[in-house]
Structure 1
């Protein structure tokens, strides 16, 4: 924990490339990523120089993060990180010296030493929590085929710091264990001479590893493999309702058939009767996205509708109608009923609680509206103990956004164990930044999908970094979790207080005593009966005491951040207590079109005697007489988008002038990946505006313009992006948002700019930080490229 020593300062004074760290940078959140420099081949002066310069940049990055961590007195082996940083610095100085002497072999060895030490320093800067889900998905194909191999694998995972295993017990309709009454054993594991599931559980018990079987629920078949379940119960298959799609190969049991649920329950019951597992993780607990309107569902819905209304519904239910909302809710209820009934079956099944988790798709618009997977409803009624949203990405920035979706902007309090997709990592180091984001946002932990894709060379790095402390799983014993976290914090604050340069020692020791008093309070609470309020009230009092202490601001914030994890765990219990009081109805899905959006909008475009200067700044005098229209609705017409976007229009004898005033409450999330003309990433990843324009009588021959927040532009004529117009544009930040100005020569579009001329057009805004990222002036309902839905523009 010590600050830079005298000899360290002397070393910095002779370094060839001094490092300056601004006060602002020191106050930013500490990045817990692990970055690497990939060595270039072959070894020559150009490649070595390039690698050396990248290593210098990495050194500067590590130095910044070390300084940030020291200012916060973070609970990490900072002394070890500093030693590694110093050695890296010396090695880089020597690398430069040897490069100048053209001793490439020696310089390369010193550079390798520097990079190794910088990697070690980064691992030391990561935080490690003593309460955290650390799960590994064990896909059936990667299970070792010998008892010795299973034992060795579990030794590796336990030694690394994992605490939970998710073996793939049911996949493709097969069980990995032998002699099931309801299906066949997986052919890959059939002739091992032992029961792989029993062996896995037996060895896991020796190592205090939890085993929660990962099961395919309704999906019972994969192309190219056998069909053991549907061969037994073919009438339960999910088949197209219209029976015209003869190419569809049934993969799922129909969620609407009570017999399907019973079959699944029998499988799970058999497993639980035989094996002492800690829970079940439901995968494929949903409809088949390829057949969301299967024949059994359609038939049963029509029958129930007739009983309720005295008539049958239409064969084809139009999207966006109240009837479609009823159809959506009915299908959701088929999946809900499966989860609800299974939870009821598990309650009291054993003396020990049998957990139920759901492996779910992220974002309500996808998991719920596409797959009928309304896990928020399950959690609201305590039908699941945790949700494992699939966060498959190489980019840690995505996790910030996705967690915002899953928690409804931080308003929901659920036990979330996101699943990180090793199959999507671009490098093994991607996992460290992602773990850091989950920790910063007080998520209960993580699991890794899956062993087949995970690089085992990362295991020692996890042990050295974020898994260095052994961890309890958060869902088993909340009181034990809180006491463990407080004990760990007390040890951290004691180490800080022992440092000769400890900040405000008297205040620090006083607060540490108060923190340990809170642990004593928790020790006295009966373990079987307590409320969230009993836990939160004394924690609030501790936080109030912290505010009074004259501790450095960054150190105080670090303590608050640590205590906020306790607050999160208590808030989850508080939500569970509310859920236990009675049934919470499902919210209505947003699938009904707002009637006002069906109208084609129109606007008058006024003549301007003084054209605006196209500089991206919407000066009031330039646009005061322009027509203002609003991009108000999502493209599907189901709801308003809630973010203000104003479009201003005017024209003169040469151009149509447009301006966008884009409100943006989350400027740090604005994306602009497209960086060259006609780069189509502008449509798939970027915050952008789009314009469609055409002569009114030739809507099908429309022109398409788009630009992102960096003024990267796209234009096309009837989808042909080789067309390039001579339009002008500029973009500029403005307060809580960004602004656009454009001038489009109308004659290039075949439009004579004079009063009385009518144009067809539409205006759009894309914000990929939203679950539904597309908003429109005239709602197209399906695709932006829908000329029949273009609005009417009259040159006035």
Structure 2
């Protein structure tokens, strides 16, 4: 393996250099290696203009790949960098030839060379990706995509095993049906009923031949999809989750009531039947929650009322108002029904089979959303070791979304849970999206990934996965912690040995010294008894190894690569520590969900607006001298009043004879995560995904005749009068970015709103900030409790 930065690479780096490129090259070793797979989508039809545009984009891509290759070589990355270097040089030559042919007007030949360059740049990027020897690599096999022949099953499993996958999740229960025959509790799926063989047994048998783990993916409480029959609810109609509102005649039950003990037993008997017949390694619980369409089913409401009466000697109101302490109690009671289901299932599995049966949860992202709408609190399950892993459904084409959502799921990296996020192939804008998302998962030292689903996954990605992130075979992290740690150390030791054999290896004496210490740690782990070791035997010697790495006289980029490679080991130890601590506690209570309105948020706020001492220059920068004596407000509450926002947003107000001046200072520690998709005036995308501010203004006593102003971080604006967006006001605005904040300055002509500014004149107002990085992305000055367009909840501004 060639780690050296050779003359060909240095020549290729000079192909398209300019000052910005040189600056980037100097900083390359300070950056983490981007593991996305970038390409250029060819523009049609083929003409000089389109071809020249594509060529210029390919030059930018070439520079990006060259930088990444330089950085990977400086870090002695454990990847086939020699192969990447060859691809990059061929791409260089192809781009040079493309330019020559473009100038010669030979568009067909230029297009072929450009295609060659793009293929080679793609190959180089794949080759630079790391491959981990410990990692969950799963594919969710939706029942409709399971092949209908034995040969077809063998073929698809062979494809995925050859590509480096180690786990399949066949959809064993869906829509109330089982995919296997002769169940005591339900019917066999009609799509798989007449195959002449048992598809689940065939999947298990063929997986065993290929050392693939089989973890059935099961719908838990959802047992029906309209139009597909009703095999379970026809058997046990009394257990259906009907709406508690008797006037609701349209809602069709799709779930068993989580609150009914017999419903839980029925489902668990069904699962245990499957586990008793098939030697699978675990079970992935999907739909382990309430139905969001019927969150207050009749059985749950009745049982809650009965238990409330036993506790308090009276019945609760039939309609429980949201935001009250009683609603919080109702919320926690329903959560507890789901918690009971998970807990008792885990307890029933203990000792059920000689082999351990792992339990995973397929769960929604965002704690507040999943708890408030689904009554699903997987953190509580994990805190009590009722699940072995969580598979958060993180469906997006954008790796930035994935990184943000993993921040949510790990509480900013503070939680230590075994996570196998599910990536949504159905949401990818291109099959290549998977590579950047795998890169995020690896960079965060997450335990692995699974892909939803076979029906959506593009098989052409299998070859690149095998050549890139799935290059090495990998064991799953959850089966044997000690073996996983030793596997990571052995793989690291082999890599360091290969580096040490290079003619220009960095400080061979220091390198071999550290490698010997690393192998010494593996030897110590080898001596531990397989089933009776403790964290105390694992953690201190690992921490000592990290200290030795810090002291090692090795180049900084190389040391950082070693440290990154040790990150997964460190993460697995942290997860084990949390599990042991949880077990020692015995039981960890659930946290209180944010469903009660805090008292301070109920009042309608008011403020006096000072006359402007200096008219601010509208450049987006809130300078103290321009806003001297301005009135200060805070956008501090969630829109529902359940909590204060965790980020500072300050509004400054002043006025003169013509305008209301508004300055908004938006604290933002993650400026790289700001989104601004809206591009045109009155583009409503501004409200669905953009970081934005919104203002509502109306004459006092005429709140319903309010004006709506909004803008995003690119100063793309929206305005409307009483909801009519055809109205366009004559207001002015500017946006600017500063360290960890973006700022807005606005001037709104008041007379255009029917307001004659003067001392003592009042107007109704509200101010909002949308920040989609937050778990609850909407915050307000005056809490609307519902949506922003609630004039009755506008506050009051009085000109001073």
What is the aligned counterpart of 1:101 among 104, 113, 120? Answer: 104
2:429 corresponds in structure 1 to: 426
1:203 corresponds in structure 2 to: 206
Does residue 773 of structure 1 match 2:774? no
1:416 corresponds in structure 2 to: 419
Unpaired stretches in structure 2, ≥5 consecutive residues? none
What is the aligned counterpart of 1:648 among 647, 652, 674? Answer: 652
Partner SS state of residue 626, structure 2: helix
Distance 1:466 1:10, change over 3 A: closer
What is the aligned counterpart of 2:282 among 267, 272, 279? Answer: 279
| 1:195 to partner: Cα distance | 0.4
Partner SS state of residue 762, structure 1: strand
2:4 corresponds in structure 1 to: 3
Cα deviations by residue, 1:133-185 (Å, 9 ceiling, x for unpaired)? 00000111000100011111111011001100000000000000001111000
Indicate if the aligned counterparts of 1:198 and 1:275 stay in contact, CA closer than 8 A.
yes
1:466 corresponds in structure 2 to: 469
Distance 1:487 1:430 in 2: 31
Indicate if the aligned counterparts of 2:215 and 2:280 stay in contact, CA closer than 8 A.
yes
Partner SS state of residue 702, structure 2: helix
Distance 1:300 1:12, change over 3 A: closer
1:687 corresponds in structure 2 to: 691
Distance 1:10 1:578 in 2: 55
1:528 corresponds in structure 2 to: 531
Does residue 749 of structure 1 match 2:753? yes
Distance 2:737 2:69 in 1: 32
Partner SS state of residue 298, structure 1: helix
Distance 1:200 1:663 in 2: 53
Does residue 86 of structure 1 match 2:92? no
Indicate if the aligned counterparts of 1:215 and 1:282 stay in contact, CA closer than 8 A.
yes
| 1:109 to partner: Cα distance | 2.3
What is the aligned counterpart of 1:589 among 575, 590, 593? Answer: 593
Does residue 505 of structure 1 match 2:508? yes
1:402 corresponds in structure 2 to: 405
What is the aligned counterpart of 1:621 among 621, 625, 633? Answer: 625
1:114 corresponds in structure 2 to: 117
| 1:618 to partner: Cα distance | 1.8
What is the aligned counterpart of 1:738 among 736, 742, 755? Answer: 742
| 1:372 to partner: Cα distance | 0.5
1:270 corresponds in structure 2 to: 273
Distance 2:276 2:104 in 1: 72
Distance 2:8 2:368 in 1: 58
Partner SS state of residue 400, structure 2: helix
Indicate if the aligned counterparts of 1:694 and 1:761 stay in contact, CA closer than 8 A.
yes
Indicate if the aligned counterparts of 1:531 and 1:574 stay in contact, CA closer than 8 A.
no
Higher mean displacement: 554-563 or 121-130: 554-563
2:59 corresponds in structure 1 to: 56
Distance 1:33 1:474, change over 3 A: same
Distance 1:461 1:701 in 2: 58
1:392 corresponds in structure 2 to: 395
What is the aligned counterpart of 1:235 among 233, 238, 241? Answer: 238
Indicate if the aligned counterparts of 1:692 and 1:705 stay in contact, CA closer than 8 A.
yes
What is the aligned counterpart of 1:720 among 721, 724, 740? Answer: 724
Distance 1:356 1:728, change over 3 A: same
Distance 1:534 1:459 in 2: 40
Does residue 359 of structure 1 match 2:362? yes
Cα deviations by residue, 1:173-228 (Å, 9 ceiling, x for unpaired)? 00000011110000000000000000110110111100000000000000111100
Distance 1:413 1:9 in 2: 42
Distance 1:482 1:444 in 2: 12
How many residues in Structure 1 have an aligned counterpart in Structure 2?
796
Partner SS state of residue 460, structure 2: helix
Distance 1:790 1:69 in 2: 55
Distance 2:55 2:120 in 1: 14
Distance 1:537 1:241 in 2: 56
1:346 corresponds in structure 2 to: 349
Partner SS state of residue 683, structure 1: helix
1:214 corresponds in structure 2 to: 217
| 1:667 to partner: Cα distance | 2.0
| 1:14 to partner: Cα distance | 7.0
Higher mean displacement: 408-417 or 105-114: 105-114
Provide the TM-score with structure 2 as the length reference: 0.98
| 1:533 to partner: Cα distance | 2.8
| 1:107 to partner: Cα distance | 2.3
Indicate if the aligned counterparts of 1:16 and 1:93 stay in contact, CA closer than 8 A.
no
Distance 2:287 2:412 in 1: 26
Cα deviations by residue, 1:389-425 (Å, 9 ceiling, x for unpaired)? 0010000100111001001111110000000000001
Distance 1:503 1:230, change over 3 A: same
Distance 1:625 1:43 in 2: 61
Partner SS state of residue 369, structure 1: helix
Indicate if the aligned counterparts of 2:610 and 2:654 stay in contact, CA closer than 8 A.
yes
Cα deviations by residue, 1:651-707 (Å, 9 ceiling, x for unpaired)? 111111111122222222222222222222221112111111000111001011111
Higher mean displacement: 96-105 or 336-345: 96-105
What is the aligned counterpart of 1:671 among 664, 671, 675? Answer: 675
| 1:39 to partner: Cα distance | 2.7
Partner SS state of residue 53, structure 1: helix
Indicate if the aligned counterparts of 1:687 and 1:709 stay in contact, CA closer than 8 A.
yes
2:381 corresponds in structure 1 to: 378
2:643 corresponds in structure 1 to: 639
Higher mean displacement: 708-717 or 381-390: 708-717
2:76 corresponds in structure 1 to: 73
Partner SS state of residue 83, structure 1: helix
